């Protein structure tokens, strides 16, 4: 069994990003990322703080627009318009979730597709499905980078994706299909999850349910990517019973230290990509 070490790979990517930032600065461009953070959700504040720190480490200009939970949709849309027009900001990220009185779809659609470094705009989602160059969502993109780093060939592999969210599951499916994998996508209405995971060469899970994937649900030699993040008795764990599943797996991601660091690394890469478009 080998560990798919996202922490180690993310550091390698950060060093590459740092060099690219230096090159862009020589050409008069300082990559800039703006984050909109609404409310007091502790997890959201933690994520934004980590993203901000990663930007500073790599030389990317970062600004966080914080708003109270009571902010109106109109005010939020106005802020997005202002950031869209700012030539010094190349990437704009809306930290989710947003308060219930705000239409998340409307907010995400207001972000300029050219600054949509989270890859959530329907325009970029559509290009992703068609296999065209675009901004792909950071978490599934990070999973693909792990496969690339560890020379895991996806062609013809049977992959089971557990979770069908717009943020992870659906874009993960698109990236895998574009890499010529055969993809089975499962969700909360799937009747017999084990029947799908047992025949998969690769299982990718991200639903937020501890120990959802157990050893009896996977075959020997399986590759397991755990995107889930859960807190159990004060400890961060994934969606996979790591202790027992790892005994059958050929490769597996740890939680923490697997996909999490890769998500932020891909955000940095997408921001650089957006900044480079300014040169064209």
The DSSP H or E segment spanning 7 is helix 6-26
pLDDT of residue 43: 87
Same fold, 28-113 and 138-260: yes
Q: What CATH number belongs to 28-113?
A: 3.40.50.10860
Enumerate the domain spans of the chain: 28-113, 138-260
Counting beta carbons within 10 angstroms of the beta carbon of residue 56, is it exposed (0 to 12), middle (13 to 18) or buried (19 or more)?
exposed
Low-confidence ranges of the chain (pLDDT < 70): 280
Q: How far is CA 25 from CA 14, 37, 46, 52, in A?
A: 16, 27, 29, 19
Structural domain 138-260, CATH architecture: 3-Layer(aba) Sandwich (3.40)
Burial class of 63 by CB neighbour count within 10 A (0 to 12, 13 to 18, 19+): middle
What pLDDT was estimated at residue 279? 77
C-alpha distances (whole Å) from 7 to each of 10, 86, 96, 125, 186 are 5, 33, 23, 27, 27
pLDDT digits 0-9 by tens, 194-203? 999 999 999 9
Q: Is 255 exposed, middle or buried (0-12, 13-18, 19+ CB in 10 A)?
A: buried
Q: Where in the sequence numbering do the catalytic residues fall?
A: 51, 95, 118
Contacts with 33 (C-beta within 8 Å, 6 or more apart), sequence order:
51, 55, 60, 61, 62, 63, 89, 90, 91, 92, 93, 117, 267, 271
- Please give the DSSP secondary-structure letter assigned to residue 178: H
Q: What is the pLDDT of residue 278?
A: 80
Which strand (E) or helix (H) includes residue 226?
A: strand 223-226
Q: Which of 76, 228, 215, 113 minimizes the C-alpha distance to 165?
A: 228
């Amino acid at each position: 069994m080998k560990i798919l070490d996202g922490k180690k790979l993310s550091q390698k990517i950060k060093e590459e990003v740092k060099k690219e930032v230096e090159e862009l600065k020589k050409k008069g461009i300082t990559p800039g990322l703006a984050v909109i953070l609404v409310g007091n959700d502790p997890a959201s504040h933690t994520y934004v703080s980590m993203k901000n720190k990663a930007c500073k480490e790599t030389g990317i200009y970062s600004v966080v627009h914080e708003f109270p939970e009571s902010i109106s949709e109109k005010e939020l849309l106005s802020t997005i318009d202002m950031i869209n027009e700012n030539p010094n900001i190349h990437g704009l990220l809306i930290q989710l979730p947003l308060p219930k009185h705000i239409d998340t779809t409307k907010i995400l659609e207001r972000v300029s597709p050219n600054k949509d470094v989270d890859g959530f705009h329907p325009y970029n989602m559509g290009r992703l499905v068609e296999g065209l160059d675009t901004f792909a969502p950071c978490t599934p993109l990070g999973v693909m980078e792990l496969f690339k780093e560890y020379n895991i060939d996806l062609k013809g592999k049977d992959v089971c994706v557990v979770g069908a969210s717009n943020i992870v599951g659906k874009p993960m499916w698109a990236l895998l299909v574009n890499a010529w994998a055969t993809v089975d996508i499962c969700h909360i209405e799937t009747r017999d999850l084990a029947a799908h995971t047992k025949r998969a060469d690769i299982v990718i899970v991200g639903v937020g349910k501890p120990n959802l994937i157990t050893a009896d649900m996977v075959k020997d030699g399986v590759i397991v990517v755990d995107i889930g993040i859960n807190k159990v008795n004060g400890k961060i764990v994934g969606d996979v019973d790591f202790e027992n599943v790892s005994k059958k797996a050929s490769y597996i991601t740890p939680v923490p230290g697997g996909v999490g660091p890769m998500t932020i690394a891909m955000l940095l890469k997408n921001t650089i990509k957006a900044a480079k478009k300014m040169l064209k």
